[in-house]
């Protein structure tokens, strides 16, 4: 088996924009892209399968199974054609990352994509109730000047962007495609709907349209409640352990 793309039909598009949101830190990019697919009623026109995906299958309703895959969706909004890439997984090997990224860019090239937006999470190791900041990196300096006024912070410290969000920009640049990566601040180990909302707000502002965010907002509030409950339980457990240690010291002394 090799990495392959199966088209169900070829969408009729003009100067389409590729938006990638695959699983990563906090599932930020995946959540944002899937929300966009849902709200825009995007249509699936192709799927990508690869032996570089994890070695498992997905069980769907009714006991049916399917292979791990990435899906291409098409949508038209605000006079723009969008190609939205979402999926179950990224590659599990460095070689696989490059192969899959090249295959994605082959599809983008066939559809004459000139601009790519990749979405992901920027891990901080901390959870905050504040609105997550969105950090951006660019394939070309002129893009930085074009988009830096849209409520984003430019990443100036350097460092790697692992996986599709980085490789699509780098390899896309070699193909003459402009690229912007939008990264939402996130803990990194928590599924982060709030960060996904921040990223999506910036993306839709740049592209000149809006979508209903209520579903993301609801899930973000549920996460906040869960984290608050866990914190209280941890504080109570720590208090009980301190009390137990003090009592033990009293009896021993």
Residues 248 and 156 in one domain: no
Backbone region of residue 60 per phi and psi (left: phi > 0; alpha: psi in -120 to 50; beta: other values): beta
Residues 223 and 130 in one domain: no
Specify the DSSP element, H or E, that contains 196.
Answer: helix 193-207
For residue 91, the model assigns a pLDDT of 95
**In whole angstroms, what separates CA 135 from the centre of its chain?**
13
Residues 202 and 231 in one domain: no
For residue 69, the model assigns a pLDDT of 95
How many domains does the chain fold into? 2
Residues 143 and 223 in one domain: no
Residues 168 and 62 in one domain: yes
Residue pLDDT tens, the chain, 253 long: 899 999 999 999 999 999 999 999 989 999 999 999 999 999 999 999 999 999 999 888 888 999 999 999 999 999 999 999 999 999 999 999 999 999 999 999 999 999 999 999 988 888 778 889 999 999 999 998 888 788 788 876 778 898 999 999 999 999 999 999 999 999 888 888 999 999 999 999 999 999 999 998 888 888 777 766 766 776 677 777 776 666 555 555 5
Sequence-separated (6 or more) residues with CB below 8 Å from residue 40? 75, 77, 82, 84, 211
Domain boundary among 196, 212, 228: 212
For residue 247, the model assigns a pLDDT of 59
For residue 130, the model assigns a pLDDT of 85
CB 179 within 8 A of CB 173: yes
Residues 200 and 230 in one domain: no
Residues 112 and 235 in one domain: no
For residue 14, the model assigns a pLDDT of 94
Residues 162 and 186 in one domain: yes
Q: Which domain holds residue 229?
A: 213-253
Strand-pairing partners, residue 47, are 6, 71
Residues 183 and 238 in one domain: no
Residues 179 and 220 in one domain: no
Residues 127 and 250 in one domain: no
Domain boundary among 212, 229, 245: 212
State the CATH number of the domain containing residue 93: 3.40.50.10900
For residue 245, the model assigns a pLDDT of 61
**Shortest CA distance to 29 belongs to which of 38, 20, 17, 37?**
20
For residue 230, the model assigns a pLDDT of 63
Residues 97 and 131 in one domain: yes
Sequence-separated (6 or more) residues with CB below 8 Å from residue 171? 98, 101, 102, 105
């Amino acid at each position: 088996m090799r990495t392959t793309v199966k088209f169900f039909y070829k969408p009729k598009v003009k100067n389409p924009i590729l938006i990638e949101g695959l699983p990563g830190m906090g599932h930020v990019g995946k959540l944002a892209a899937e929300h966009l697919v849902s709200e825009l009623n995007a249509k699936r026109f192709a799927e990508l399968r690869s032996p570089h995906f994890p070695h498992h299958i997905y069980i769907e309703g009714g006991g049916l199974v399917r292979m791990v895959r990435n899906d291409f969706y098409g949508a038209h909004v605000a006079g723009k054609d969008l190609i939205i890439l979402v999926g179950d997984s990224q590659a599990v090997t460095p070689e696989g990352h490059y192969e899959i990224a090249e295959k994605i860019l082959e599809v983008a090239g066939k559809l004459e994509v000139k601009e790519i937006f990749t979405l992901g999470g920027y891990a901080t190791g901390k959870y905050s109730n504040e609105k997550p900041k969105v950090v951006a990196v660019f394939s070309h300096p002129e893009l930085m000047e074009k988009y830096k006024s849209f409520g984003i912070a430019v990443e100036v410290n350097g460092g790697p962007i692992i996986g599709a969000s980085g490789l699509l920009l780098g390899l896309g640049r070699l193909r003459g495609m402009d690229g912007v990566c939008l990264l939402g601040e996130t803990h990194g180990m928590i599924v982060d709907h709030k960060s996904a909302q921040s990223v999506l707000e910036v993306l839709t502002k740049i592209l000149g349209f809006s979508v209903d965010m209520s579903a993301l907002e609801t899930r973000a509030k549920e996460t906040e409640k869960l984290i608050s409950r866990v914190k209280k339980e941890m504080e109570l457990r720590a208090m009980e352990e301190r009390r137990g240690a003090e009592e033990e010291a009293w009896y021993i002394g």
